[in-house]
């Protein structure tokens, strides 16, 4: 499935954030995700972003209009058109002069909201017992249940062994 590139990238950033651990360097995660334009995260912003990550995680457990509207209301969303880094005009959901954490909150909330409106069944959490990873289902048939092929294989091998016993 093809998503709007801006919304799809924002939903994928939400996945990366939710799948991060308490030890993850969030500044490095944002850099790796090529989230631009970036500013630095101070300790207070890191703490705020970690609270936001918990809120995003709830969307992958039970996406709903009410929950996503709560997240959208919490953001400092101020849509505007940007042309930074020599790129063609494109939409941003928060002004560039806002703190990074506010921009990330607006970006991820809007990305998940856009995905939810297009295909709510494509927001998921891995079905393998013991795995808490989340994912956005971009498969053609929209029937993904696992975060990775590795988790899928583990479950299917265990099922096969149980049937063979």
Give the number of domains in the chain.
1
In our burial notation (b when 16+ CB lie closer than 10 A, e otherwise), range 105-138 reads bbbbbbbbbbbbeeeeebbbbbebeebebbbbbe
151 domain-assigned: no
Q: Domain limits at 106?
A: 5-120
CB 117 within 8 A of CB 127: no
**What CATH number should be reported for the domain holding residue 57?**
1.10.3300.10
Evaluate whether residue 125 is within a structural domain: no
Q: Which two tokens stand for residue 145?
A: 């249940």
pLDDT in tens, 104-153: 999 999 999 999 999 999 999 999 999 999 999 988 888 888 999 899 88
Q: Give the position of tokens 């479950």.
A: 155
Write down the residue that tokens 């058109």 correspond to.
81
Residue 92 within a domain: yes
Distances (CA, A) of 39 to 28, 36, 137: 12, 9, 30
Tell me whether residue 62 is in a domain: yes
- Give domain status of residue 154, yes or no: no
pLDDT tens digits along 62-121: 999 999 999 999 997 788 888 877 889 988 888 888 889 999 999 999 999 999 999 999
Cβ–Cβ under 8 Å, residues 78 and 96: no
Provide the pLDDT for residue 146: 92
* Range of weakest confidence among 36-40, 119-123, 155-159: 36-40
What's the whole-model pTM score? 0.87
Q: Is residue 15 part of a domain?
A: yes
Q: What is the structure's pLDDT at 3?
A: 56
Contact 7, 114 (CB under 8 A): yes
pLDDT at 2 exceeding the cut of 60: no
């Amino acid at each position: 499935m093809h998503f709007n590139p801006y919304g799809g990238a924002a939903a994928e950033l939400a996945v990366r954030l939710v799948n991060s651990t308490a030890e993850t360097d969030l500044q490095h995660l944002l850099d790796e995700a090529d989230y631009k334009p970036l500013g630095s995260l101070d300790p207070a912003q890191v703490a705020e972003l970690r609270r936001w990550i918990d809120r995003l995680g709830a969307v992958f457990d039970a996406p709903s209009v009410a929950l996503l509207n709560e997240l959208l209301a919490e953001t400092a969303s101020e849509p505007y058109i940007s042309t930074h880094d020599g790129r063609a005009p494109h939409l941003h959901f928060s002004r560039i002069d806002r703190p990074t954490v506010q921009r990330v909150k607006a970006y991820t909330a809007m990305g998940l909201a856009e995905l939810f409106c297009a295909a709510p069944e494509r927001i998921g959490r891995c079905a393998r017992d013991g795995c808490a990873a989340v994912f956005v289902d971009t498969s053609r048939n929209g029937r993904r249940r696992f975060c990775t092929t590795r988790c899928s294989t583990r479950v299917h091998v265990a099922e096969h062994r149980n049937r063979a016993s």
